[in-house]
């Protein structure tokens, strides 16, 4: 799907609304300096409408775009996992249990059977 940019009217309205300030950090912007950002990025379903537009300074926009990219990658991974395009990672394999230091069962010394029911010798 092609990226849907803001129409010129929406851009103009957003710039007017911002009144020459970054809408995030309120830094003063020189004319033409503001960058119009999709609040919810286009890739994640954000519409190119005024309600989804904000005027940001270059610094805020760069930070926001990096975060959007991270969220987009996560959405991609989740979709691919759900569709089966990526197989889930297997269980973590730790080292096997160490071999027992006890000798094998046959080699152990046989104990004499315990007398549980000893016949009582009457006094």
Of 11, 21, 24, 71, the one binding Zn ion (CB under 5 A) is: 24
- Closest CB to Zn ion among 10 and 56? 56
DSSP-derived letter for residue 25 is: T
Residues β-bridged to residue 28: 21
Question: What's phi and psi for 44, nearest 5 deg?
Answer: -90, 10
Please give the DSSP secondary-structure letter assigned to residue 105.
G
* Helices (H), ranges, 1-122: 8-18, 58-83
Pick between residue 52 and residue 64 the one whose CB is nearest to Zn ion: 64
Verify binding: residue 29, Zn ion, rule CB under 5 A.
no
Q: Which one of the spans 32-40, 56-64, 85-93, 114-122 is the region binding Zn ion (CB under 5 A)?
A: 56-64
Q: Which is nearer to Zn ion, 36 or 57 (CB)?
A: 57
């Amino acid at each position: 799907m092609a990226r849907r940019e803001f129409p010129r009217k929406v851009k103009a309205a957003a710039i007017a609304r911002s009144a020459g300030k970054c809408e995030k950090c309120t830094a003063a912007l020189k004319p033409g300096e503001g960058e119009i950002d999709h609040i919810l990025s286009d890739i994640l379903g954000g519409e190119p409408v005024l309600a989804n537009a904000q005027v940001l300074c270059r610094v805020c926009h760069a930070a926001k775009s990096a975060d959007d990219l991270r969220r987009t990658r996560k959405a991609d991974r989740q979709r691919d996992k759900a569709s089966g395009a990526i197989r889930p990672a297997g269980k973590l394999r730790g080292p096997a249990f160490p071999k027992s230091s006890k000798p094998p069962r046959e080699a152990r010394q046989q104990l004499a059977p315990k007398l549980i029911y000893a016949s009582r010798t009457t006094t």
